[in-house]
Homo-oligomer: A and B are copies of this chain.
Amino acid sequence: MIIEFLGGCDEIGREAFLVKDKNTNVLLEYGVELQPNIKLPLLPAVKIDGFFVSHAHLDHSGMVPLIYKFQNPTLYATPATLDLMNLLLEDYIKVAGLTRGFSEYQKYDIAKMNKNFKPCFYNQKFKIGNLVAKLFDASHIPGSASIYISGSKSILYTGDINTISTYLLDYKEINYPEIDCLIMESTYSEREHPDRKIEEKRFIKKIREYENGLVLLPTFAVGRAQELLLMLYSNGIKREIYLDGMAQKASDIILYHKKYINDDRILKKVLKRVNFIRTKKQRDRIIKRGGIVVTTSGMLNGGPIVYYLKKVRNMKNTCLLMTGFQAEGTPGEKLLRTRYFENCESKFKVNIEIQKFDFSAHAGRSGLFKLIKRIAPKKVICVHGENTKKFAVEIREKLEIEAIAPKIGEFVEL
């Protein structure tokens, strides 16, 4: 079995791994790196027999339609992943066209992708050529999966994975089969998360401080937005909540695929209470009246949050509470560091209170180590991280398991 690393190794973004075994070629992920600049993975130069996407986030799925410009491989993913991907991919085309003047794929490529989709369900074995595959729940976002492939060797690719329960998703320990090689996400290999309950209390307390003011909650559309809504509801926040931007459609899709989430009845109830915002007029009214705004984008690259921020940057009784990972070089990260918002269009100082909270959907450092220990693979390949090399060294030293951190363009033979 050969694994080629087409992208997403010592970086977060453009995940793409090609598995070649027993005359069968399987592509795991085909993502795009968005932050701070768009970067694409290497194109696979072989006929793909099976194409897997672990979950809908663009760093894992953003270039999937590009493959359908050349080939028609069957796409294996959960139905929730496909629907969420469609939302995010169409948005990618729109944003790419606006910001760069071109997109790597068009809507008809997405249509071709959809035509080749085969729905997959957790814990069900199926065949791809001469290999066997199985998806496991990864508890990262609705529909997210870890991917198991078995041929001359067996591998498990974690995808983005969480090992604790959240409001949106329940975590249950999984009994993985025996694994020769674990391809491991490493997002938080260097950091522990703060205690989630304490973090949540701090968050809710801060929201209550602005009871009569405006609270801006920039967020990723898929997963985090719904988690925040559930968190507000569960903590008895009774104020008006406004949902703006792509998080609206994402919420609808997640509610439709209700079997992936913890308790769809609560989410349904919450979404009924929430006001969906679509126009500038509505936004201006909210800015005047106050309330809680849950809106995209999570790293402040675009979306309605930029409009709000520009308008309220000097407004009293207003705060910005950031709850997601801020990649280096993004407007969100720069704002936290400098208190200046800056994108390609404008730069301004933001004088409202800004706070950062950690409600990550990734396993933290000790969660990752525990997971490796429990799976006990013969070898670990660290990917999807900012310091995968260091993580590999630590795995070798602490767990005495062979571990490597390949680079883009390299390959490994198992």
CB contacts (< 8 Å) of A39 on chain B: these are: 42, 45
Q: Is the CB of A43 within 8 A of B104?
A: yes
* A325 nearest CB across to chain B (Å): 21
CB contacts (< 8 Å) of A45 on chain B: these are: 37-40, 100, 104
A334 at the interface (CB under 8 A from B): no
Bits for A160-181, please: 1 = Cβ < 8 Å to B, else 0.
0000000000000000000000
Q: Is the CB of A102 within 8 A of B47?
A: yes
Interface residues of A in 99-121 (CB under 8 A from B): 100-104
A396 at the interface (CB under 8 A from B): no
Q: Which residue of B lies closest to A44 (CB)?
A: B40
* A72 nearest CB across to chain B (Å): 9
Q: How many of these chains are in the complex?
A: 2
CB contacts (< 8 Å) of A194 on chain B: these are: none
* A360 nearest CB across to chain B (Å): 27
CB contacts (< 8 Å) of A102 on chain B: these are: 47, 70-71
Q: How many A residues touch B, CB cutoff 8 Å?
A: 21
- Contacts known (A408-B409, A409-B408); A100 close to B46, Cβ less than 8 A: yes
A339 at the interface (CB under 8 A from B): no
- From B37, B40, B70, B103, give the contact of A42 (CB < 8 A): B40
Interface residues of A in 379-414 (CB under 8 A from B): 407-409
Bits for A181-208, please: 1 = Cβ < 8 Å to B, else 0.
0000000000000000000000000000
* A359 nearest CB across to chain B (Å): 30
Bits for A41-56, please: 1 = Cβ < 8 Å to B, else 0.
1110111000000000
In Å, the complex CA distance between A161 and B409 comes to 26
CB contacts (< 8 Å) of A408 on chain B: these are: 408-409
Q: Which residue of B lies closest to A63 (CB)?
A: B43
CB contacts (< 8 Å) of A41 on chain B: these are: 42
Q: Which residue of B lies closest to A100 (CB)?
A: B47
A365 at the interface (CB under 8 A from B): no
Q: Which residue of B lies closest to A96 (CB)?
A: B45
Q: Is the CB of B43 within 8 A of A101?
A: no
A258 at the interface (CB under 8 A from B): no
CB contacts (< 8 Å) of A283 on chain B: these are: none
CB contacts (< 8 Å) of A47 on chain B: these are: 100-102
Interface residues of A in 14-71 (CB under 8 A from B): 37-43, 45-47, 69-71
A-B contact pairs, 6 of them (CB 8 A): A39-B42, A40-B42, A43-B104, A47-B100, A47-B101, A70-B104
- Additional 6 contacts, C-beta under 8 A, given A43-B43, A43-B104, A47-B101: A38-B45, A39-B42, A40-B43, A41-B42, A407-B409, A408-B408
